[in-house]
Amino acid sequence: KQEVTQIPAALSVPEGENLVLNCSFTDSAIYNLQWFRQDPGKGLTSLLLIQSSQREQTSGRLNASLDKSSGRSTLYIAASQPGDSATYLCAVKEGDRSGGGADGLTFGKGTHLIIQP
Amino acid sequence: EPEVTQTPSHQVTQMGQEVILRCVPISNHLYFYWYRQILGQKVEFLVSFYNNEISEKSEIFDDQFSVERPDGSNFTLKIRSTKLEDSAMYFCASTLVRLTGYGYTFGSGTRLTVV
């Protein structure tokens, strides 16, 4: 059964720092991997999606990498801002026998990030 | 920007009662999902729905749960006889295209409290 682990569970850094959030998964047979942001009382916002054949994706100050064979992904946030404070979730979509993707996403528990002004 | 709308935002119910959680997915989306998040725990997949039938369900989605798309806009999750352990935040999501994963839009969630 796929397990997704995120380290650290919580992180507090001063504004302006670059930081890295880590995600690992136990079964490398994934279809894709997504990073989400969750704000209190709100839903999940998709930040970046990496297909299993890709190594990285970038959007603005965010860069996500994927090393499928080792079961790892990182989310790099450059020049952090107080508005980046949120919980960041990593989720994998598993592959199925036909080569497509399973419907459900398997989530990690998240990294609760606080950016101090 | 189009949104997935969930109602109510918070529901309190007595153990053993039936509850219906409602969702209005984005209008041109074709795939619909329910996830739940128990306080302090991971977000967990419950069920996916396409073409008016369940596409996939997790082991959590037992006979106490059912989903329905009663009309062209609503997507509902029914819990037949609630238990204390059903207390969680329930998220609805929709997407236009299943396999790419792009376009996943989540609602803000319904917090269900079973007392």
Contacts of B59 (CB under 8 A, 6+ apart): none
Compute the average pLDDT of residues B35-57.
Answer: 94
**B61 in Cβ contact with B47 (< 8 Å):** yes
Give the rounded distance of the alpha carbon of A2 from its chain centre. Answer: 15
Residue A96 clears pLDDT 80, i.e. is over it: no
User: Tens digits of per-residue pLDDT, A15-47?
Assistant: 999 999 999 999 998 988 999 999 987 889 989
What are the chain B neighbours of A42 within 8 Å (beta carbons)?
Answer: 108-109
Q: Measured between CB atoms, does B109 come within 8 Å of chain A?
A: yes
The angle formed by the CA atoms of residues A35, A37 and A39, to the nearest 5 degrees, is 165
Using a pLDDT cut of 90, give the percent of chain B over it. 79
Q: Could you tell me the two tokens for A36?
A: 């989400």
Alpha carbon of A46: minimum distance to chain B alpha carbons (Å):
7
C-alpha distances out from residue A39 to A84, A88, A108, B39, Å: 10, 9, 16, 14
Q: B25: exposed, middle or buried (C-beta count within 10 Å: 0-12, 13-18, 19+)? A: buried
